Amino acid sequence: MARTSDLGRVLTAMVTPMTPEGAVDLDGAVRLAVRLSESGSDGLVILGTTGEAPTLSKEEKKELIRAVVGAVGGAVTVIAGTGSYDTAASVELTREAEKLGVDGILAVVPYYNRPPQEGLYRHFQAILQATSLPVMLYNIPSRTGRNLEPETVARLAEAPNLAAIKEAAGSLDQVSQLIQVLPERVRVYAGDDSLTLPMLAVGGYGVVSVASHLVGTQIQEMIAAYLEGRVAEAARIHHHLYPLFRGLFITTNPIPVKAALEMVGLPAGPPRLPLPPASDAEREAIRQALRQVGLLD
């Protein structure tokens, strides 16, 4: 039987801190995880897009899971990204992550090989069957080259441990379709910070956020205001944070958020190739976004 778990409403898609030489900085990851757990995050999603999972070795992934679970497990939920374009490898890493004590699994749509919907269904079905943990699907067509259709998600919802979907297709129509076809226990999360509030309005539950590295408490306040009927206050917070939501995506994620974390003195380090560090012009735009939301003088 699947474990039941409220993964939380504000989940931070945590960066993987690196040393200047490009090694995984486990001490930095622990410091950052603790900081996030104390500043508005209900949970941490590690080894996702923002965590540069495709460039980490299997052993590095296991070490990062151990470190983060050891640091904040029990205080916040820890969700591990275990999906890739290889079903067998995704299943294997899912099983290992469960043994290492994570609270949930993030499984991205297979990228590059662009399977049809039946292939997506079988891929995710294999992952769901490999674990008793709650599973969050991750739909991001701009990166994977394939949209996970609501009808396919509805088929997958027959599995008792399908808990959520991180929806980053950028379409409120698709979010509305998901809300209509999914059972209430399968929660829909925004995969884009700027769409958190609009998605709440059509039935979304929360957000897997990049900006919550920096403004997690304010995102929590925005969601609480909306849920309590203070819609104008929620909109005010959204518009206050909007420059940061945009600034963290002026180039490929996680280049901007790593630069932003460095600017405010939090562990991040450089991204790994093929992602380069932020350029001087990008850094100035990121710095300006941080100033606009009051994070830098």
Beta strand spans in the chain (E): 10-13, 43-46, 77-81, 104-108, 135-139, 162-167, 187-190, 206-209
For the annotated catalytic residues, the residue numbers are 138, 166
Contact predicate 247/289, CB 8 Å: yes
The number of C-alpha atoms within 13 Å of 143 and in the hemisphere containing its C-beta is 19
Pairing of strands 77-81, 43-46: parallel
At residue 43, φ and ψ (nearest 5 deg) are: -160, 165
Residues 6+ apart with CB under 8 A from 228: none
Rg from Cα positions in the chain = 18
* Residue 221, number of CB atoms within 10 A of its CB: 16
Q: How far apart are CA 106 and CA 136, in angstroms?
A: 5
